Amino acid sequence: MRPDVLNPYFASITELAGIGPKLARPFNRLLDRPDGARVLDLLLHLPSSAIDRRARPTIAEALPDTVVTLEVTVDQHRPTPRGSRAPYRVHVHDETGDLTLAFFNADRGRMERLLPVGEVRWVSGTITLYDGMRQMTHPDRVVDAAGLAKLPPVEPLYPLVEGLGHGHVRRAVDAALTIARELPEWQDRLPAGSPGFRAALQAVHHPAVPEAAGPDGAAWRRLAYDELLAGQLALALVRSRAVRSTGRSSVGDGRIAARIEAALPFTLTGSQREALAAIRADLASENRMLRLLQGDVGSGKTVVALLAAASVVEAGRQAALMAPTEILARQHLKTIAPIAAAAGLRVALLTGREKGRVREELLAGLRNGEVDLVVGTHALFQEGVAFGDLALAIVDEQHRFGVHQRLALAAKGEAVDVLVMTATPIPRTLVLTYFGDMDSSELREKPAGRKPITTATISSERLHEVVERLGHALREGRRAYWICPLVDESESSDLAAAEARFADLRQHFGSRVGLVHGKMKGAEKDAAMAAFASGETRLLVATTVVEVGVDVPEASIMVIEHAERFGLAQLHQLRGRVGRGEEASTCLLVYRPPLGPIAEQRLRALRESEDGFFLAEQDLKLRGEGDVLGTRQSGFPGFRVARLERHGDLLEAARADAKAVVQEDPDLLGPRGRALRLLLHLFERDVAVKLLDAG
C-alpha cells in the first residue's frame, strides 16, 4: 500500500544509530507512540524554542542572563572541599575581566581534562552576577578550537520527557535526517525559494537564526501547509465521492411548512428564512446535501430543522433528528410535538429507553413510513432501525458525535441529505479543518425580544452573598440554575460536588431546590426537569447536563461555580439557558481565586460579549486549537505541526488548493497527484487513499 520511497520515514526509530531498545522507551513516550515511534514522528517533533549562541562578547561586555559564548583562558581549579556542598569552581579570564565557572557534583579528573590550566577554551552559557562576581553555572558547552568550529550557532530546544535531554533528541533527529531522503514535490503554490519537505525538516531542526526554528519561520510554515493540505485534500476527496454517489431530489410543496409557520407563536427571523431557503435548494438538488447550520445559543435552530424536515415529508419521504443526549432528544420532541400535531406531521421518539412493544411499534412505523419525523439519540443508528425512505438526517450539537455516527445515520437511507447543527458557533478555521468544504448557513440574527443578560464575576470567597441574593430572587418567584463545579475529569467527583451543593442549598431553601445530573436514570432526570419547568422547584442544581438544549423560559438566573475551569464556549452555552423569557436575566460566574491570566481573559470576554460568533474566535485565540471542539472525544485527527492560531491564514489556501486538485485530478493519478498521495500517507490521511483505491 505505502509507496517504497516512504519506507525510511516509517522505519522504527530503533533502526537509527544510537537508539537501542532502552532509549526507545522514553522516545515512544515523548512522541506519544506507545507501540513504537517511527522516524517521521521524530522528524515532526519540532523545537519549542532555540538558543542563540551567536553572541561572542568579551567578559566585560557580556550581558547577564543572556546566552553568550566566551573565549577564555583557564587560570585555576578550586575543587569542592571535602564534605562541602559548594560547587567545583574554575577561574578563567580574558583581556577584559575574570569569570568563575561553577559545577555541582563535578568530578575532578573530568574537570581537569575539560578545562586544562593555561589553555584557551570557549564556554557557552548564561552569566549571572553572584556576590558581585561574574559567574557561569554549568556552561551548556565547553569546547576547544576544533569543537568551536562544530558548535551550531543556534541550537534547537525540544519538548522533553523524563529520561531524555536535548542532546538525545538532537542526535536522534540528526540520525533521522541522514536516512530521510527528499521526496517528489507535491506543492505547486509555494513562494519561490521555499524548501522541499525534507529540506524544511532540515532547516527547522538546524536553524540559522532562532526564528527559523519557530512556527512563523518559512520551514515550519511549509510543513504546516503540508499538514493542512493533507487534511483538506482528504476531506475534499471524501466529499467528492459522497456527492458524486447521489442523485435524489426532494421538492416539497410547502403545505406542511405553511401550517407549521401558522402554528408558531412567532415569525421567523431573516436569518432563519435565509438558512431555510439554502437548505430547501440543497434538498431539491440532485446532489447530496452536506450543510452546517451554525447559530448562537437560542438563535432558533430547532425550528429551522423542523421546517427542513417538513420539506422532505411534503415530498413523501422521512427525516430523522439525532440529539447527543436523551434530555435533549426529549426536549426537542416536547417543543416539536404540538406544532407537528397542528401541522399534521407524524413524529416519534426513539432513545435507548423505548423498549419492548413500544419500540417494536415504533420500528414498524419507521419501516412502513407511518412516522414522518423521528427524534432520538444514537439509538437511531443501531441495527434493526430501518426507514421506509429516509431523505434527511439532522444531527444536532454535532461536536459530541464522531464522524462515524454521522455517516452511520446517513447510511440508513439512499443518498441521505445531512444537516449538522452546532451547539454554538465554531470559528471559521475550525469549520474548515474539521468539516472541510461543507456548506454553511449562519443564524446571526437573534429572535426579536431577547433581553440582554447581565454577566458578573464574583470570587467564591463571597459565595454567601450569592446565596443571600439568590434567596431574595427565589422569594420574588424567580427561577435559577446552579451549575456545579467541574471538579476534575472524573465524573464521580463532579457528582459528589453537585450532591454536596444540593444538600447545602436545600438547607437554605428547602424543597424548592431540585437536582439533575448525568448519572440519574432517565425517568428521574425527566422528573427533575419537569419539576423545574413547572415551577415546583425553583432552583435547579445541575452538572453540565443542562448545557445543551434545555429550554425553560422562566429561568432567569444562572450561577456557575468554578467558572474558571470551564471553556469559553461551554460557559457561553450554559449562560444561554437563561435570557429566554420576559424577565431580565443574570449570569453569575463564581470563580475560585487566584484567577490565572487566561481564565481571567475568558471571563472578561464573557462579561463583555454575548455574541457567540465573536466568543468562538476569542476562544480559539485563548486556547490555541486546543480543545475547542472537544476533538479527542469526537475522533477528529489532531495536528502535529500546524497551529491554527498561527497558521489559520494557510488554511484558506490549502482548501482552495485541495478543491482544485480534486477537480483536476480526482483520482490523484497525475504527477502531482502521485506526489500528493505521499503527502496523505505522511500525515496519515490514508483513509482517503483507500477511498481512491476502492474507486
- Partner that binds at residue 422, options ligand ADP, Mg ion, none, CB closer than 5 to 8 Å by kind: none
Q: Between 224 and 306, whose beta carbon lies closer to ligand ADP? A: 306
The CB-of-401 to ligand ADP minimum distance in angstroms stands at: 16
Q: Between 549 and 579, whose beta carbon lies closer to Mg ion? A: 549
The CB-of-412 to ligand ADP minimum distance in angstroms stands at: 23
Residues in 515-574 that interact with Mg ion by CB under 5 A? 549
Distances (CA, A) of 625 to 204, 400, 565, 630: 22, 17, 17, 10
- Partner that binds at residue 28, options ligand ADP, Mg ion, none, CB closer than 5 to 8 Å by kind: none
Q: CB nearest Mg ion: which residue?
A: 549
- Partner that binds at residue 268, options Mg ion, ligand ADP, none, CB closer than 5 to 8 Å by kind: ligand ADP
Helix axis angle, 597-608 to 612-623, nearest 10°: 170
Which cell is 592 given? 475560585
- DSSP character at residue 324: S
Q: Between 156 and 549, whose beta carbon lies closer to Mg ion? A: 549
Q: Where are the alpha helices (DSSP H) in 396-450?
A: 403-410, 428-435
Q: Between 294 and 351, whose beta carbon lies closer to ligand ADP? A: 294
- Partner that binds at residue 140, options ligand ADP, Mg ion, none, CB closer than 5 to 8 Å by kind: none
Report the C-alpha dihedral over residues 37, 41, 43, 48, rounded to 10 degrees: -110
The CB-of-198 to ligand ADP minimum distance in angstroms stands at: 48
Distance CA 268, CA 261 (A): 8
Q: Among 329, 333, 330, 353, which residue's Cα sits nearest to residue 341? A: 333
Q: What are the φ and ψ backbone dihedral angles of 225, each rounded to 5 degrees?
A: -65, -40
**Cβ 97 vs Cβ 89: under 8 Å:** no
β-strands 479-483, 539-542 pairing: parallel
Q: Between 228 and 327, whose beta carbon lies closer to Mg ion? A: 327
Residues in 433-492 that interact with Mg ion by CB under 5 A? none
- Answer positive or negative: Cα dihedral of 218, 220, 223, 224: negative
Distance CA 177, CA 120 (A): 33
- Partner that binds at residue 551, options ligand ADP, Mg ion, none, CB closer than 5 to 8 Å by kind: ligand ADP
**Cβ 606 vs Cβ 583: under 8 Å:** no
Q: Which residues bind ligand ADP (CB under 6 A)?
A: 266, 268-269, 272, 295, 297-303, 447-448, 551, 580
Which residues, 6 or more positions from 671, have their beta carbon under 8 angstroms from its beta carbon? Answer: 184
**Cβ 94 vs Cβ 122: under 8 Å:** no
- Partner that binds at residue 146, options ligand ADP, Mg ion, none, CB closer than 5 to 8 Å by kind: none
The CB-of-261 to ligand ADP minimum distance in angstroms stands at: 10
The CB-of-355 to ligand ADP minimum distance in angstroms stands at: 28
The CB-of-270 to ligand ADP minimum distance in angstroms stands at: 9
Q: How many CB atoms lie within 10 A of CB 63?
A: 11
Distance CA 403, CA 410 (A): 11
Distance CA 72, CA 348 (A): 84
Q: How many CB atoms lie within 10 A of CB 598?
A: 12
The CB-of-288 to Mg ion minimum distance in angstroms stands at: 24
Q: Between 301 and 400, whose beta carbon lies closer to ligand ADP? A: 301
Q: Between 70 and 431, whose beta carbon lies closer to ligand ADP? A: 431
The CB-of-692 to Mg ion minimum distance in angstroms stands at: 37
Which cell is 643 given? 497551529
Distance CA 526, CA 326 (A): 9
Buried/exposed code over 313-338 (b: 16+ C-beta within 10 A; e: otherwise): bbbebbbbbbbbbbbbbbbbbebbee
Distance CA 187, CA 660 (A): 13
Q: Between 72 and 548, whose beta carbon lies closer to Mg ion? A: 548
- Identify whether 594 is preceded by a cis peptide bond (ω within 30 of 0): yes
Q: Between 232 and 544, whose beta carbon lies closer to ligand ADP? A: 544
The CB-of-300 to ligand ADP minimum distance in angstroms stands at: 3
The CB-of-588 to ligand ADP minimum distance in angstroms stands at: 21
The CB-of-304 to ligand ADP minimum distance in angstroms stands at: 8
The site that binds Mg ion (CB under 5 A) totals a number of residues, namely 1
- Partner that binds at residue 300, options ligand ADP, Mg ion, none, CB closer than 5 to 8 Å by kind: ligand ADP
The CB-of-192 to Mg ion minimum distance in angstroms stands at: 49
Q: Between 175 and 578, whose beta carbon lies closer to Mg ion? A: 578
Q: Which SS3 state, helix, strand or coil, does residue 273 take?
A: helix
Q: Between 288 and 332, whose beta carbon lies closer to ligand ADP? A: 332
Q: Among 618, 628, 454, 485, which residue's Cα sits nearest to residue 564? A: 485
- Identify whether 210 is preceded by a cis peptide bond (ω within 30 of 0): no
- Partner that binds at residue 402, options Mg ion, ligand ADP, none, CB closer than 5 to 8 Å by kind: none
Adjacency order of strands within the sheet including 290-295: 347-350, 373-376, 318-322, 390-396, 417-421, 290-295, 439-443
- DSSP character at residue 12: B
Q: Between 331 and 631, whose beta carbon lies closer to Mg ion? A: 331
The CB-of-302 to ligand ADP minimum distance in angstroms stands at: 3
Q: Between 299 and 311, whose beta carbon lies closer to ligand ADP? A: 299
Q: CB nearest ligand ADP: which residue?
A: 300
- Partner that binds at residue 295, options ligand ADP, Mg ion, none, CB closer than 5 to 8 Å by kind: ligand ADP
**Applying CB under 5 A, which residues contact Mg ion?**
549
